[in-house]
Amino acid sequence: MAKKKVVIIGFGGHARSWLHSIKGHPDFELVGIIDVDTEMLENIGQLGPDLKNVATDTAIEDYVKFNEKPDLAIIATPIFTHHSLVREVLKLGINVICEKNLASTLQQGRQMVQAALDHPELCTATGFQNRFNPGFWSAKQYLAQEEPSIGELGFIKWQDFGYRGESRWGWRRHLAEIYPEDQCPHWFDVIRWITGMDIVQVKADTFMPRYSEWHGASTICANLALAKPGEYRHRHNWVWAQLFGDWQLGGPPHSSFEFFGKKGQFSVAGLGLDIKVYPDMSNRTKFEEDGYLPVDAGPIRGTKYTGQQVILEQMSRGIDSKGKIQPDTNFVEAYKSFAVSMCAIESSHAGKAVWVPDTWADFKGVDIYYKE
C-alpha cells in the first residue's frame, strides 16, 4: 500500500517531534516542509538526511500548485496562526493535525470547528498526545472499570511545576498567558480524557510571581468542576479538581496527579498507578497499597503506539474511511479542552467563576454529546 504523504507547516521544535513520529509510523512519509523562513528552507537538507529530498514552500496554497497534494498537513506554527491555516488546508481538501492550543480566542476556535463540520469527508486532529501516554491511559482504564477499588471518584489534585528560565524561549515568551495557553490545554484535556467528564465550571487566577521577569503569566491556580454530559447542572454529582501549574518556581521540577475516591486514592506514577485502598472505612488514615500497570490497561486505543503516533494511527484509519472515522482529538472534541483554557483566562480577568458549556451551547451540526 502506498504511504500517505505528509507536509509539515512550521518547522520549529514541535515539528521536529512530529518528524520523529512520522518516521516511526509505516503509513506515512514526509514529502514537504512549509515555513516563512526562506533561509532555512534553502538549507533544509542540512538539517537531516530525511530532509534532503523534501519539497519546500512558504505557503500551502503555493505548495499544492507545484507539487502533488498531500494527504495530511501538520500545523506546528504559533497559536495565533492556527485558525487561518486550518481553514486554508481544509479548503484545499487536505486532512489536518493542528498543534495545541487550538486557537488564540474562542471565536477562532469556533471557526475551526465549523470548518471541520463543513468538510465531513476530511479528518481533523489536535496535538493532545499526552492523553495517549501510558500512565494517563492506565488511569482512564482503571476508572472505567465497573467497580474501581478506590470507589466513586470525588476529587482530583493536579500539580505541575518547574523552573523554565528567566524568560520563556521562542514566540511563546510573548504570550500574555504563557502557562495557561501553552501547557494548561494539555492538562485540561487529560483530566477530561481520564474521567470521561467535561469541565463545566472554572475559577482561576493566572499571574506572574512578583519576582518574575517573564512577559506573561507563568502560573495558574484553578478550581475545576467536572460533570458527565446530561448532568452538568447536578452540582452534587460534580467531581472537583484543584490544578496548580507554574514555570517560575525554583528548585527541582515536580508533577503529581492524584485521584481521591470514597474507598481509596491513586496517583499516576511513571507508566502506571500507585493505589492506596482503605481497609477500614472508619479510619481512612490507614491504607493498603496496590498497583495498576499498562499491561492491566491494555494497548492504548487498541494500537501498538503511544503519544503522537496514536494520533497518526487514528488519522491513517480516518483517511482510509474518508472522514467517517474521526480521530479522538478531532476539533469538535478538542474544542471542549481548548475552551477551558480560554474560560480560565476569562475567570482570572473577571474575578469570578465561568460556566464553560456556554461556549458551545449554540453549536449546530454536532451530536448529543454537546447537550446538557
Given this model, what pLDDT does residue 343 score? Answer: 99
Convert 142-182 into a string of H (helix), E (strand) and C (coil).
HHCCCCCCCCCEEEEEEEEECCCCCCCCHHHHHCCCHHHHH
**Domain 4-129+306-330 matches domain 131-303+340-358 at the CATH topology level:** no
Determine contact, residues 222/344, Cβ cutoff 8 Å: yes
Overall CATH class of domain 131-303+340-358: alpha beta
% pLDDT > 70, the chain: 98
Percentages of the chain per state (helix, strand, coil), in multiples of 5: 40, 25, 40
Q: Which pLDDT score is estimated for 176?
A: 86
Whether the CB-CB separation of 10 and 34 falls below 8 Å is answered with yes
**pLDDT(326) > 70:** yes
* CATH class name, domain 4-129+306-330: alpha beta
d(CA 105, CA 359): 11
Tell me: the pLDDT tens digits for 21-37? 999 999 999 999 999 99
pLDDT band at 369 (very low <50, low <70, confident <90, very high): very low
pLDDT at 366 (0 to 100):
67
Q: What pLDDT, on the 0 to 100 scale, is given for residue 236?
A: 96
Whole-structure pTM value = 0.95
pLDDT of 206 above 60: yes
Residue 193: pLDDT band (50, 70, 90) is very high
Residues 48-81: tens digit of each pLDDT: 888 999 999 999 999 999 999 999 999 999 999 9
Q: How confident is the model at residue 368 (pLDDT cuts 50, 70, 90)?
A: very low
Tell me the per-residue pLDDT of 92-135, one tens digit each, with 9 for 90 and over.
999 999 999 999 999 999 999 999 999 999 999 999 999 999 99
Domain boundaries, the chain: 4-129+306-330, 131-303+340-358
What integer pLDDT is reported at residue 56 of this predicted model?
97
For the chain, strand residue ranges (E) read 4-9, 28-34, 55-57, 72-75, 95-98, 124-126, 153-161, 198-207, 219-227, 239-246, 254-261, 264-269, 272-277, 288-292, 354-355
pLDDT at 336 over 60: yes
Q: What digits encode the pLDDT tens for the residues 216-259?
A: 999 999 999 999 999 999 999 999 999 999 999 988 999 999 99
Helix axes 184-195 and 331-350, enclosed angle (nearest 10) = 120
